Amino acid sequence: MKELTKAEEELMQILWKLGKGFINDILDELKNPKPAYNTVSTIVRILEKKGFVDHVAYGKSHEYFPIVSKKEYTKTYFGHFMKNYFGNSYREMVSFFTNDNNLNLLELEELKQAMAEEIIRKKIENDE
């Protein structure tokens, strides 16, 4: 799966949110200053060539919809992120985020709880 540019990802986020839409629907979701209609149309056609979206034609109008799910893209993107920034080490990633001063005590406790729940789930799976 190809990586998306920032502009492509922004439009994909909108299509994932909407489920489907015409260029004007996408434009309505963009923040000001909005790009030109033709710019958005060009980016959506690039997304179509990359295999991320498809369309249904209604005369000269096209309604676009994602064919790559947000979950699928996130999994792939996060895999690249893990490889490039943390050497595929979840331990390194967790260490980075837990040592970051931006996490407060509550957030650290929530991370701890989430990991504890996942440990229990994995133990149950291994016992079956």
Alpha helices (H) in 19-104, listed in sequence order: 23-29, 37-49, 70-86, 90-99
Confidence of residue 2 (pLDDT cuts 50, 70, 90): confident
Segment 117-126, tens digit of pLDDT: 999 999 998 8
Segment 61-96, tens digit of pLDDT: 999 999 999 999 999 888 888 899 999 888 888 888
Phi, psi of 86 (to 5 degrees): -130, 15
**Two structure tokens written together for 35:** 């790009």
Confidence of residue 102 (pLDDT cuts 50, 70, 90): confident
CA nearest neighbour of 96 among 106, 110, 109, 82: 82
Q: Average pLDDT, stretch 36-63? A: 97
Compute the mean pLDDT over every residue in the chain, rounded to the nearest whole number. 92
pLDDT of residue 103: 82
Would you identify the CATH topology of the domain 6-66? Arc Repressor Mutant, subunit A (1.10.10)
Confidence of residue 101 (pLDDT cuts 50, 70, 90): low
Domain boundaries, the chain: 6-66, 89-128
Local structure of 128: helix, strand or coil: coil
